[in-house]
Amino acid sequence: MAKNDELIGLSLAEARDKLKAKEITSAELTDAYIAEMEAGRDLNAYVLETAEQAREMAKASDAKLAKGEGGAIEGVPLGIKDLFCTKDVRSTACSHILDGYTPAYESTVTSQLWRDGAVMLGKLNNDEFAMGSSNETSFYGPVTNPWRRNGDDTKLVPGGSSGGSSAAVAAKLCLGATATDTGGSIRQPAAFTGTVGIKPTYGRCSRWGIVAFASSLDQAGPITRDVRDAAIMLKSMAGHDPQDTTSVDRPVPDYEAALGQGVKGLTVGIPKEYRVDGMPEEIDALWSQGIEWLKAAGANIKEVSLPHTKYALPAYYIVAPAEASSNLARYDGVRYGLRVDGKDITEMYENTRAEGFGDEVRRRVLIGTYVLSAGYYDAYYLKAQKVRSLIAHDFRQAFSEVDVLLTPTAPSAAFGIGEKSDDPLSMYLNDVFTVTVNLAGLPGISVPAGLSKEGLPLGLQLIGRGFDEETLFRTAHKLEEAAQFTAAPEAWWRS
């Protein structure tokens, strides 16, 4: 185990360098992670382990590395959120309705990771169709956060919807994980698990082959142990795809190269509307600490106003369910996935969708159907779209004065499994700081910045201009340096 501990202790960047230097092999690294993945089954982070495939991919990577060849992340073992379609590997979006669905195609994002040499360990748990903020809505059951409160073994949620990704990265069950973010599904889980998660600008990564939740908001991004690892992974995941006409054709910068640039001369905006009522004092304090760190690193700090922030959450919970209600119409039992027979086609639809979708998905399909209905469209969907324009306008105004915004990622630390699952509204409030970014299509990153009184990780979020991920990485890197976040969960799941 000692050798394994050493191997899994390496960051993605370190592992990459050692693989290139032939100090380690992908086979041994992959085996170490397979062992961790198996030892960590209690966390329920993986919904499908693909150990055999991982070993084959590692072997192929080693052959390339031996010849001094291979891609940017050759031989690096990753976990893949189940929302990504993976060729010949079951992909269900953690929904019963996609039971046994095995695509004959590979999502663009994952195919780019394989192109660059990554190794797939398995498919990671998520909220069903990415609808949730705690990973409790998965058909495969909740994921347990590797972190626990001090002296308390209550099982906590890892955040959602990318809870499998955040838990697996935090528990070192993979070197990095793909994730997706529609309203905070990368950043909030990252904050809950002491990991780094970036949602890039809308259009930066292809959505082709990712099971759609809300098309105008969905974006893929990585969850990793540190900022450098996120920069490395995003470089592989990003890029234009002619198969997704909402992806944008512009070059992908070398994000890693932006890391050392510091924040001197940058102006960091502090949006005053993000000081919400009832926010825990310790989060407020962490935010102030973050401001001090960036100031000390040479950044200018400026308070800005994003006046329409308070309308973001309601607008989001109209737009996202509206698109979802339509995106999920294809799961009808006719062509693939679950079918529950009925006496006629209508009954078959009803039976299939009633049994195939969980409560949260049904709730959102109902909300979405309602807000798009004749007579309600103008009052809800159209108004929400107007709010969306106003929010985007707020950000444009702010970015005429500042280079990057600093906010908390989530209004609380991780909560207990089951604590909020009966209260959708309080669950939705988890996204209060993150949804604005999706509505405006901007990039946002969450960086672990400290621990709560109870010993749980807390994150700070940076928001950037569209396609200016480089400034995010550079600022996040400074924050990371200043925060010196070295705490790690005790590996209780191994015993």
Q: With CB under 8 A as the contact rule, which of the stretches 55-63, 97-105, 302-310, 442-450 interacts with another protein?
A: 97-105
Q: Are 396 and 115 in contact (CB under 8 A)?
A: no
Task: Determine if 103 is a binding residue for another protein (CB under 8 A).
Answer: yes
245 vs 486 by CB, closer to another protein: 245
Beta strands 267-271 and 404-408 are: parallel
* End-to-end Cα, the chain, rounded Å: 13
Q: Rounded to the nearest 5°, which phi and psi values hold at 267?
A: -105, 120
Q: Which position among 14, 53, 336, 488 is part of the footprint of another protein (CB under 8 A)?
A: 336
Whether 185 is catalytic is: yes
Asked if 387 is part of the footprint of another protein (rule: CB under 8 A), the reply reads no
**Strand (E) or helix (H) holding 119:** strand 119-124
How far is Cα 118 from Cα 136, in angstroms, rounded to an integer?
Answer: 29
Output the smallest distance, CB 172 to another protein, in A: 29
The residue annotated as part of the active site, out of 107, 133, 134, 161, is: 161
For another protein, the binding residue among 23, 105, 285, 379 (CB under 8 A) is 105
| Minimum CB–partner distance for residue 302 and another protein (Å) | 34
Shortest CB 343 distance to another protein, Å: 11
CA 430 to chain centre: 14
- Binding residues for another protein restricted to 168-227, rule: CB under 8 A: 207-212, 214-216
Interaction residues for another protein, span 266-305 (CB under 8 A) = none
How far is Cα 60 from Cα 54, in angstroms, rounded to an integer? 10
Distances (CA, A) of 314 to 115, 256, 345, 407, 431: 40, 36, 35, 20, 11
User: Please, which residue, 95 or 421, has the CB nearer to another protein?
Assistant: 95
Q: Using the rule CB under 8 A, which residue among 329, 354, 379, 487 binds another protein?
A: 329
Q: Which two tokens stand for residue 336?
A: 């693939």
Choosing from 26, 61, 81, 446, the catalytic residue is 81
Catalytic residue among 91, 111, 162, 185: 185
In contact, 195 and 159? CB cutoff 8 Å: no
Residue that is written with structure tokens 């999920």 in the block: 328
| Residue 21: other Cβ atoms inside 10 A | 9
Instruction: Using the rule CB under 8 A, give the single segment among 1-9, 102-110, 254-262, 289-297 that binds another protein.
Output: 102-110
Question: Is 389 one of the catalytic residues?
Answer: no
Of 89, 117, 372, 128, the C-alpha closest to 209 is 89
Please report, as a single letter, which amino acid is at residue 423: D
Contact 93, 76 (CB under 8 A): no
Which of 223, 249, 38, 227 minimizes the C-alpha distance to 135?
223
Is residue 372 near another protein by the rule CB under 8 A? yes
| Contact of 121 with 33, CB cutoff 8 Å | yes
Smallest distance, another protein to C-beta of residue 203, A: 10
| Residues β-bridged to residue 407 | 461
- Helix, strand, coil % over all residues of the chain, rounded to 5: 45, 15, 40
Rounded-to-integer distance, Cα 79 and Cα 450, Å? 25
Provide, rounded to whole angstroms, the least separation between the CB of residue 387 and another protein: 15
Task: For residue 334, state whether it binds another protein (rule: CB under 8 A).
Answer: yes
Give how far the C-alpha of residue 398 lies from the chain's centroid of Cα atoms, to the nearest Å: 25
Binder of another protein out of 64, 87, 99, 101 (CB under 8 A) = 101
Q: Shortest Cβ distance from residue 464 to another protein (Å)?
A: 22
Is 425 a binding residue for another protein by CB under 8 A? The answer is no
The residue written with tokens 């950043």 in the block is 187
85 interacts with another protein by CB under 8 A:
yes
Least distance to another protein, CB of residue 242, Å? 7
Give the β-pairing of 119-124 and 46-49: antiparallel
For another protein (CB under 8 A), the number of binding residues is: 43
Q: Is 323 in the site for another protein (CB under 8 A)?
A: yes
Per CB under 8 A, which of residues 228..247 are in contact with another protein? 242-246
Span 340-369, contacts to another protein by CB under 8 A: 345, 349, 369
- Tell me which residues are annotated as active site: 81, 161, 185
Q: Applying CB under 8 A, which residues contact another protein?
A: 84-85, 91, 93, 98, 101, 103-105, 107, 207-212, 214-216, 242-246, 322-323, 325-326, 328-330, 332, 334-336, 345, 349, 369, 372-374, 377, 381
